[in-house]
Structure 1
Amino acid sequence: MSAESTPGPDISGPGTKAGSHRRRRGAGRRALLVTAWTAAGILVLGGAGVGYLYFKLNGNLKTVDINQMLGGDRPTKVDNGSENILVLGSDTRSGANRKLGGGADDGSARSDTAMIVHVYKGHRKAAVVSVPRDTLIDRPACTEAQGTSHAAATGVMFNSAYSTGGAACAVKTVESMTGIRMDHYLEVDFSGFQKLIDELGGVQVTTTKAIDDPESHLDLKAGTHTLDGKQALGLVRTRHGVGDGSDLGRIQLQQAFIKALVNQIKQVGVLTSPTKLYDLADTATKTVTTDSDLGSVNSLIDFANGLKSVSAKNMRMVTMPVEYDPANPNRVIVAEAKAKLVWKALESDKPIPASATKGTATGQAKGVVTS
Structure 2
Amino acid sequence: MQRAAAPSPVYYAGNAPPPPEPPVRGRLWRVLGVLSIVMSVVLVAGSLTAYGFWRRLDGQIDRENVDGRLGVDRPEKLNGSLNILLIGSDSRAGRNARYGTEPGQRSDTTILLHISPGGENAIGISFPRDSMVQMPSCKRRNGTTVPAQFGMINTAFSNGGPACTWKTIESLTDIHIDHYVEVDFAGFKRVVDALGGVEICVPRRIDDPKAELRLRPGRQVVRGDQALGYVRTRYALGDGSDLDRIKRQQAFMASVTKKATDKGMLTDPGRTYDFLSAVAKSIKADEDLTLSVMQRLAGSLRGMSAGKVRFVTVPVEAYPQDRNRVQFNRALAEPLFRAVREDNKLPEPEPVPVGNQVKPVPPAQVQVGVYNAAGTPGLAQRTADQLTERGFQVVKVGTADRTYARTQILYGAGAERQAARVAIAVPGPKPRAWRAARPGRVYLVIGKSGARLRGLNASVPRVAGEIRADRDVCAAT
TM range (shorter): 0.7 to 0.9
Q: Which of structures 1 and 2 has the larger relative contact order (alpha carbons within 8 angstroms, sep 6+)?
A: 1
Q: Residue 38 of structure 2 aligns to which amino acid in structure 1? A: A
Deviations along 1:40-83, one digit per CA (max 9) or x if unpaired, are 34533437462xx655433221223344432422011112x222
CA distance in 1, matches of 2:207, 2:303: 36
Instruction: State whether structure 2 residue 32 is matched by structure 1 residue 43.
Output: no
Moved more, 337-346 or 168-177: 337-346
Give me the TM-score of the superposition, normalised by structure 1. 0.80
> Within 5 A, what are the aligned runs for 1:169-180?
169-180=164-175
Q: What is the TM-score of this pair, normalised by structure 2? A: 0.63
Q: Deviation digits for residues 21-54 of structure 1, max 9, x if unmatched?
A: xxxxx3256453222223334533437462xx65
Letter in 1 for 2:236: G
In structure 2, the CA distance between the partners of 1:218 and 1:47, relative to structure 1 (3 Å rule), is farther
Closer, same or farther: CA 317–58 of 1 in aligned 2, 3 Å = closer
- Per the alignment, residue 28 of structure 2 pairs with 27
CA contact (8 A) 1:43 1:281 kept: yes
Output the amino acid matched with 2:249: Q
Aligned-pair CA distance for 1:174: 0.2
C-alpha spacing 1:43/1:288, structure 2 compared with 1 (3 Å): farther
- Could you tell me which amino acid in structure 2 is paired with residue 126 of structure 1? A
In structure 1, the residue matched to 2:100 is 102
Partner-residue secondary structure (3-state), 2:261: helix
Shift of 1:133: 0.6
What CA distance in whole angstroms lies between the structure 1 residues aligned with 2:30 and 2:89? 8
In the TM superposition, structure 1's runs of 4+ consecutive aligned residues that sit over 6 Å from their partners are 367-371
- The structure-2 alpha-carbon separation of the partners of 1:144 and 1:257, relative to structure 1 and needing over 3 Å to count, comes to same
Indicate which of 291, 296, 300 corresponds to 1:306: 300
User: What are structure 2's unaligned runs of at least 5 residues?
Assistant: 1-26, 344-457, 466-472
Q: 1:199 aligns with which of 181, 194, 197?
A: 194
The 3-state SS of whatever aligns with 1:167 is helix
- Tell me the residue number matched to 2:62: 62
Q: Deviations over 1:319-363 (max 9, x none)?
A: 111112222221111112211111111112154445x659xxxxx
CA gap 1:292/1:207 in 2 versus in 1, 3 angstroms: same
Q: 2:322 aligns with which of 324, 328, 342?
A: 328
Match of 1:287 among 282, 285, 289: 282
CA contact (8 A) 1:28 1:216 kept: no
Q: Which residue pairs with 2:132 in the alignment?
A: 136
Q: Which amino acid is the alignment partner of residue 81 of structure 2?
A: S
1:246 corresponds in structure 2 to 241
* Structure 2 counterpart of 1:340: 334
- How far off its partner does 1:201 sit? 1.0
Give, in whole Å, the separation in 1 of the partners of 2:336 and 2:156: 21
Tell me, yes or no, if the aligned pair for 1:46 and 1:271 is still in contact at 8 Å. Answer: no
Q: Are 2:29 and 2:231, in contact at CA under 8 Å, matched by a contact in 1?
A: no
Relative distance call for 1:324 and 1:309 in structure 2 (3 A) is: farther
For 1:260 and 1:148, locate their aligned partners in 2 and report how far apart those are by CA, in whole Å. 42
Partner of 2:81: 82
Distance 1:29 1:353 in 2: 26
Secondary structure of 1:77's partner? coil
Is the Cα–Cα contact under 8 Å of residues 213 and 219 in structure 1 kept in the other structure?
yes
Aligned partners of 1:256 and 1:369 also within 8 Å: no
Choose between structure 1 and 2: higher helix proportion. 1
Structure 2 Cα separation of the partners of residues 196 and 337 of structure 1? 37
Shift of residue 223 of structure 1? 1.6
305-314 vs 89-98, greater mean Cα deviation: 305-314
Deviation, 1:196, is 1.8
Alignment match, 2:420: none
Q: Would the aligned equivalents of 1:90 and 1:188 in 2 still touch at CA under 8 Å?
A: yes
Matched-pair identity in % = 36
Q: 1:287 to 1:370 in 2, by over 3 A?
A: farther
CA contact (8 A) 1:188 1:288 kept: yes
When residues 41 and 229 of structure 1 are mapped into structure 2, their CA distance, relative to the original with a 3 A threshold, is farther
Map of 1:72 onto structure 2: 72
SS of equivalent residue, structure 2 residue 38 = helix
Unaligned runs of 5+ in 1: 1-25, 359-366
In structure 1, how many angstroms separate the alpha carbons of the residues matched to 2:251 and 2:302? 19
- Alpha carbons 1:31, 1:189 under 8 Å: kept: no
Q: Aligned with 1:122: secondary structure?
A: helix
2:202 and 2:217 in contact (8 A); partners too? yes
The counterpart of 2:115, out of the listed 93, 115, 119, is 119
| Larger Rg, first or second structure (1 or 2) | 2
3-state SS of the aligned residue for 2:298?
helix
